[in-house]
Structure 1
């Protein structure tokens, strides 16, 4: 046990020595908050949310915030105590644990962190002698119910809008009896407190991104983006793709002004020579061409998180090529015009192929294309259309092509929240078909596991009963997941099935700001597209 602790502390100190921008504070007289990312250090430090929350939580003089990860470099051993990175303290020494949760599959890691820390897993079993537990992020902000019996409080919305009022109340809430603390927090906007039954909770959002810009705080080589500083240039998306959680839960679309982006880039330039621009669709920023032109004039390289073919300019593509970008990434999401219309991402194929030809002319070493498999209404013909599209792409792009064929999980607060998820065996068969068809053209096909996608789907669309399943699991594996479901008397299909419009959905405890009637109309329009434009051969249609 001592040997494990010694190795962990040594690993943490080695990481700290290689970081720039760390905030060290003395604990004396300050409220200690652990910022917990329930995955590895590498993945967590790749998340801009960790940087933003770390900076914001450390701004008050009377608060000290330190980072905690599910694991530092390797998978943690069962007896390994979770420690904070900055001072190597155990979680029980903190007054509050703030989880930022991007992915549903990290719910398993949340339970594991609490178990290894020796903290009771059920909120009802914890009094004021235990840390308060708060969770936010895209996954739990959309549907907190699977964790509602485990964590105390859920932040519904954007941190910049939530934190000022939370940080005013939190010092008192951490030093009073737990029932009183929950009462105090349930009265704040954007906080869902399951034990106080204060649903539905309306999502809160930051109106002016210039007032609180998001950028990298800590620079480390041990992350996917170790060679650059990240700057958020926009939030939300106005295009309303029917499958997309971001497009419906981060409304309205907002942009960071060019002046602020360039000022932030000057800060990045103190540490790195490359800027990573982050947004749902970087190419949609109304000033993207002058922004990247000025960044290049400043001597900075440019990278982007995502692009839209219909707003991608040659100016932006040239800036990426000049910045030694190795991979140009685009996301058609579906192969056929019919299915792209159905999901409301009707990208023009001629325009797409023009951009592919331009990418070839600028000598990008690799082209990556994202598709989702298992959209509502998808047929075998739609999968074949991916093959046809890649054939046309290959004729124009001679270098390496990678496609990500990701199993589609219908998410809450989108028009497809009522749709059934495609069965894992159908997803696996269609992904295998793509691999077989595209292999002769030297196209790499990557995909997530359809079986694990089903688990993600159950957790994304799940209710409070899944908390017991998470607690029952002795280890994270598909076999253990199925065993725990069975012991709880539950079935994964209960969560992946189609829902009726008059059904009360588990995630109705959250008010995303988009009306149920609007989402229902969008779903009905999608169904009309299925009926009007579906191929004559209906065999294999995922309805």
Structure 2
């Protein structure tokens, strides 16, 4: 990681790195790289909410860093530590951070140590593998916690955190689950009710999206793809008005020349053309997240090209109609070939596609179908083509939540089949499958039985050995039990 001073100099921030007048400290942790953290709209947005209060000093921590970005304080000096956990695998990084700071991993062992809180998509979907490590878990939208928890802290003596008082008071925050107080039937999550877009208040030269202002243009997803939990996480689906999106930029965008439009279904926004034109009028170029070609008209596609965008991202997922019916999403490969040719003529130079291997009812012919689709798309135009291929991972609260992740040998064979089937094709192929993929699947659908295994790994034990001693064969098919604990999350 770069020196903290260099990172801080790279940031354009509305916040004073060393404010005066504060009485309480909070560590705001993202257990991954700085680049990934500062490209995450949820982490940045909640940091902005927490920093609105002058009496609470919130400082950032990232994976592999023993001290805070803002002041180089050690993690252990913070009476309250809050973790944003959008990705399941990052729990391993966080536990390593606690271990390095000599902070007990399990909440039950931290009577005189920091109070530790966690929220994020991974926590909301299935809090149980992580529950034993945290005093408070935030399920659902974190905004209510971000605004109300500092009110609890401000009543504490300076630099102190009264554990019982904080845990008792936290139970009144929507979505807050104090695990040590037990489970009573169902666990409620905080609803996403905000009427304005989330955004990234800090611009940085070292993020994945260099000096780009990210603005949420919609919440949740209008589609119900069988493998995905996005709709459940933050329903109902809402498109924010073009004026509210532009207003957020005018007030908080700090004159950024590039704006990332964040949403699960950007093409579904009825004012997308107006948004593009509005930012153009403000001197900013827009860059949308993944966009469905079959849901966007030619005029809007041309506006994106005119705005200077040269790369498009699209997720067809599969290339077989029967799988399309299963997952609830079907874009015929012939249509993608058309869209690729149209994109090239419109001025785009690169196309990135996302595919999934290992879906329920998949056979080798479906893998070959993906390969054939890739070859047809690559040969139909000279546009640069890259394909990212991921293994199916069952997600709680999705239609496929009880479907298994295929065993290791099966997935290795299928990925090898795809690779050999596109050999010689002009495509950049990124095959995303490894042991880490399988650990992520375990964390996604298993329960509290994983906690002691995670602790062993954090304490330096070999991952494969720790899993084996815990009775888990990481190479076998992975699926949820008959009555998974995460079914209590409502």
TM-score where L is the length of structure 2: 0.93
**In 2, distance between residues paired with 1:112 and 1:447?**
27
Aligned to 1:526: none
Q: How does 1:298-447 map to 2 (within 5 A)?
A: 298-447=282-431
Q: How does 1:17-56 map to 2 (within 5 A)?
A: 17-21=9-13, 23-24=15-16, 25-26=18-19, 28-56=21-49
Q: How does 1:389-538 map to 2 (within 5 A)?
A: 389-473=373-457, 480-492=462-474, 496-497=478-479, 499=481, 503-511=482-490
Aligned to 2:256: 272
**In 2, distance between residues paired with 1:248 and 1:190?**
15
2:138 to 151, 155, 166: 155
Aligned to 2:235: 251
Note if contact 1:411-1:461 (Cα within 8 Å) is conserved in structure 2: yes
Note if contact 2:99-2:459 (Cα within 8 Å) is conserved in structure 1: no
Q: CA deviation at 1:241?
A: 0.8
1:164 to 144, 147, 159: 147
Aligned to 2:219: 235
Note if contact 2:310-2:350 (Cα within 8 Å) is conserved in structure 1: yes
RMSD (Å) for aligned C-alpha atoms: 2.2
Note if contact 2:80-2:161 (Cα within 8 Å) is conserved in structure 1: no
Figure out how many residues of one structure are paired with residues of the other and give that number.
486
1:186 to 146, 171, 178: 171
Note if contact 1:186-1:198 (Cα within 8 Å) is conserved in structure 2: no
CA deviation digits over 1:433-473, x for unaligned, max 9? 22222121211210222322111101111211211111111
1:421 and 1:351, CA in 2 relative to 1: closer, same or farther beyond 3 A?
Answer: same
Q: CA deviation at 1:151?
A: 1.3
Which runs of 5 or more structure 1 residues have no equivalent in the other structure?
A: 1-7, 73-81, 512-543
1:215 and 1:320, CA in 2 relative to 1: closer, same or farther beyond 3 A?
Answer: same
Aligned to 1:527: none
**In 2, distance between residues paired with 1:137 and 1:305?**
20
**In 2, distance between residues paired with 1:324 and 1:424?**
42
Aligned to 2:247: 263
**In 1, distance between residues paired with 2:420 and 2:473?**
32
**In 1, distance between residues paired with 2:323 and 2:285?**
36
**In 1, distance between residues paired with 2:409 and 2:307?**
42
1:115 to 99, 106, 119: 99
**In 1, distance between residues paired with 2:20 and 2:406?**
51
**In 2, distance between residues paired with 1:245 and 1:416?**
9
SS of 2:462 mapped into structure 1:
helix
SS of 1:325 mapped into structure 2:
coil
Q: How does 1:82-101 map to 2 (within 5 A)?
A: 82-101=66-85
1:475 and 1:329, CA in 2 relative to 1: closer, same or farther beyond 3 A?
Answer: farther
More helix as a share of residues:
1
**In 1, distance between residues paired with 2:78 and 2:55?**
14
SS of 1:146 mapped into structure 2:
coil
**In 1, distance between residues paired with 2:458 and 2:282?**
53
**In 2, distance between residues paired with 1:247 and 1:12?**
37
